[in-house]
Amino acid sequence: MTGSPSGLFGELFVDGEMAAAMSDRALLHGMLGFEAMLASALEAESMAPQGTADVIARQCDPDLYDIVEIGRAATLAGNPAIPLVKALTARVAAVAPEQAKWVHFGATSQDVIDSGYVHVIGCGLKLIDLRLVRLASAMRVLAETHRTTPMIGRTFLQQAVPITFGVKTALWLDPLLESRHALHDILAAPVVQLAGAAGTLAALGDEGDRVQARFVELTLGAGSSLIPWHAQRHRIARLAAELGILTGNLGKIARDIGLMAQTEIGEVAEPEAPGKGGSSAMPHKRNPVLCTLILAAAQRAPSLVATMLSALPHEHERALGGWHAEWPTLPELFKVAGSALAQTITLIERLQVFPERMRANIDLTQGLVMSERVSLALAAALGKAKAHHLLEEASRACIAQNRHLREVLAAMPAVTEHLTAEALADLFDPTTYRGASDAIIDRVLARAAQAPLPRAAAPTREYRIIDA
């Protein structure tokens, strides 16, 4: 990761790359890009004189503006677009007074801010997409490497039946692939905003429709909606929900690994590093700090998603608070999801796996976890109910006598009449009790290995006018 957020918590909750993508400068860059493209559209449709777009674009460099000063003025104005447009107009007027009137012509503050956030969202989604690709690659390796590594499956936190670590990893991966497709679709179909004061572009008169179409063409190339979304926020809410789902699935991975890393279980361990996971009081501790941070993100994300969903009912043609609630919330959700992704990449790429401990935990109950398999084998001869009852009786004896279930069964004539010692031994081999595990793993790996999704172009052309 590049860069480091300053502060007492360092990069525990947000990494430098995502912080930069969600920064005030990134938003300012997008807002100025909107103004530059609007000028281009006005000139292309012969509303503004030739040369207007170039004059305005030259003043759309984020480095020309004082973010702190704009923020101070935004406190009084109610949003940052108002002081930004004022500052941009002043700069244009200083070099070409006759063209200053075309700055922000026909637009409204929400057009500027919404389109600015389209840029920010695009930057964030590209970063998340890259991280999902990297994480998926690491998890594919883990699933294939441990395709046949037996471990105990657990339901209600209790031992159930053997599975493989490969199938567990594949089931971690599958929902992440779904998230990548969903988020990539959003990245590939950005929708900018140019609708004017109440969504009708009335200030542009009969030219409004043509200017808007040209603006979208110049900005995105094609494909963006020409319908105003000042008060229709379903796309933003859907994006928030997808980020929340992604973060929750990362939390599932962290939860499983944290439980598997418990001292008494010891099946996996987080990557080792000097000073990592220590305790201020207990020198022997090796805390699962990556899992802790991923789970912290998973616990924070739902409230942020809820804020975005609660902001959906905007009043009439412009929201009274709902739109404003989105401003700090969506970037924070990107930071939370991005941080969780970064931590999960580190966790999975360097995860320590201990197959011998996995096997030891299968054997912990002296064969009880294989009772289902033996019962099914006996059912063919005894019937399902009788076989089940026989295994219940044998399981109680196993616990009471502290003997392996195989030994108890080998001493029961009702069992040995139908199963030889060799057959019993085979039935207690967890490596051969995989069911459809290989098929499940193959399906997930095939999905992960499909041709990579196409890299989406930059979300809007205005953001390439001036390098961020």
pLDDT of residue 2: 45
- Res. 466 pLDDT band, cuts 50 70 90: very low
Residues 141 and 191: their CA atoms lie apart, in Å, by 37
pLDDT tens, position by position, 393-402: 999 999 999 9
- Res. 311 pLDDT band, cuts 50 70 90: very high
318 belongs to the catalytic site:
yes
Give the class (CATH, top level) of 368-427.
Answer: mainly alpha
Exposure string for 47-64, b = 16+ CB within 10 A, e = fewer: bbeeebbebbbbbbebee
pLDDT of residue 9: 80
243 close to 301: Cβ distance less than 8 angstroms: yes
pLDDT of residue 13: 87
pLDDT of residue 464: 35
pLDDT tens, position by position, 145-194: 999 999 999 999 999 999 999 999 999 999 999 999 999 999 988 999 99
pLDDT tens, position by position, 36-68: 999 999 999 999 999 999 999 999 999 999 999
pLDDT of residue 229: 94
Q: Where does CATH 1.10.40.30 sit in the chain?
A: 368-427
Query: How high is the mean pLDDT of the chain?
Result: 91
- Res. 453 pLDDT band, cuts 50 70 90: low
**With the CA atoms of 364, 365, 369 and 374 taken in that order, what torsion angle do they form, in degrees rounded to the nearest 10?**
120
Q: Which two structure tokens, joined as six digits, stand for 401?
A: 């006598």
Q: Which helix (H) or strand (E) holds 237?
A: helix 234-260
Looking at the whole model, is its pTM more than 0.85?
Answer: yes
Architecture of domain 17-148+157-358+454-464: Up-down Bundle (1.20)
Q: What is the DSSP letter of 451?
A: P
- Res. 12 pLDDT band, cuts 50 70 90: confident
The DSSP line for 303-365 is: HHHHHHHHT-S--TTS-SSHHHHHHHHHHHHHHHHHHHHHHHHHHHHT-EE-HHHHHHHHGGG
**Set 210, 255, 318, 403: catalytic member:** 318
Query: Of 247, 254, 251, nearest to 332 (Cα)?
Result: 247
279 belongs to the catalytic site:
yes
Q: Which two structure tokens, joined as six digits, stand for 19?
A: 């912080």
Considering all CA atoms of the chain, what is the largest pairwise distance in Å, rounded to the nearest integer? 104
Q: Which two structure tokens, joined as six digits, stand for 198?
A: 């109440």
**Set 46, 279, 303, 310: catalytic member:** 279
What percentage of the chain exceeds 90 in pLDDT? 86
Query: Of 411, 406, 403, 397, nearest to 427 (Cα)?
Result: 406
pLDDT tens, position by position, 61-95: 999 999 999 999 999 999 999 999 999 999 999 99
Q: Please count the other Cβ atoms lying within 10 Å of the Cβ belonging to residue 281.
A: 6
Q: Which helix (H) or strand (E) holds 152?
A: strand 150-155
